[in-house]
Amino acid sequence: MKKQTKEKFLNIIIEQKKLYSSLKELISTEYKALADKDIKSIDDIIKRQNEIISSIKKLEDEKGLVFDLMISEVGLQKTNTIKLGDVLARIDIKDAREIEDAIKELINIVKETELINQKNTGLLKNYIEYVDFVRNIKNKIENPTQITYTKDGQKKTETIRNDSKFDTKI
């Protein structure tokens, strides 16, 4: 494999690591904004996340093209089953380790980012469940009904007079 091909592949991985690190920081900031219910900050964060994700996607496409070049330079036929390990087995051991180490670092950053994002998802789910709960209670208080059954087994829903002293301003 040509040195310039290896360097181009490594440079793409380095750029992806930088972007994922930025994304990780943004997702951490997003957690705080979610906890503080700061909608304006969340909106700005999401816009920046989308920009970073778009850049990561472009680099991933470019990395795929360079990987195809690597495959041909080591003398393999391009198939859907070719993996990076197949290419690394055919190049200098020092170059292979360098690429493996860069890939491992990238994977670690991606995993860390994913963990933080899972916390954000959990926080959002909790908020959604809370909002649904409050909405259902408010609806039941504002529109109380009683379900009874007639002699022939038909379900009958009756509206109950609302004299509740419960504060429904939530």
Tokens 């991606």 belong to: 110
pLDDT at position 37 is: 84
pLDDT in tens, 67-107: 999 999 999 988 889 999 999 999 999 999 999 999 999 99
Q: Can you tell me whether residue 156 is helix, strand or coil? A: strand
Distance CA 31, CA 102 (A): 28
pLDDT at position 2 is: 92
Residue 109 in this model has a pLDDT that exceeds 70: yes
Give percent above pLDDT 70 in the chain. Answer: 93
> Nearest to residue 70, comparing CAs of 50, 96, 45, 97?
96
- What kind and span of H or E run contains 158? strand 155-159
Q: Which tokens hold the place of 123?
A: 């926080």
pLDDT in tens, 14-54: 999 999 999 999 999 998 888 888 889 999 999 999 999 99
Reduced to 3 DSSP states, what percent helix, strand and coil does the chain have, rounded to the nearest 5? 75, 5, 20
Question: What's the half-sphere exposure (Cβ side, CA atoms, 13 Å) at 148?
Answer: 6
Backbone dihedral region of 77: left (phi > 0), alpha (psi from -120 to 50 degrees) or beta?
beta
